[in-house]
Amino acid sequence: MDIAKEVDARGLNCPLPILKAKKALSELHSGELLKVLCTDVGSVRDFQAFAKQTGNALVDQQAVGDEFVHVLRRR
């Protein structure tokens, strides 16, 4: 995957990871990928809901140890 931008939201709780992702997505061009690193367990469902509400595609979600990696494609 060709990640255009990465956001480190580790240690932050809802809604901060979503807000940081929203800001970063606004700086990307359509089709570019954003990777968000989180430690908040709730971020899994938060990013699923965020993708549905905004029309940005949730390309990948993974749990890596105690971290969660979300990849979004800008609409």
- Tell me if the bond preceding 15 is cis, omega within 30° of 0: yes
| Contact of 22 with 51, CB cutoff 8 Å | no
Q: Of the residues 4, 14, 57, 69, which is catalytic?
A: 14
Query: Residue 68 has which token pair?
Result: 């969660």
Is residue 38 annotated as a catalytic residue, yes or no? no
Using CA atoms of 33, 34, 38, 43 in order, give the dihedral in degrees to the nearest 10.
Answer: -80
The residues annotated as belonging to the active site are 14
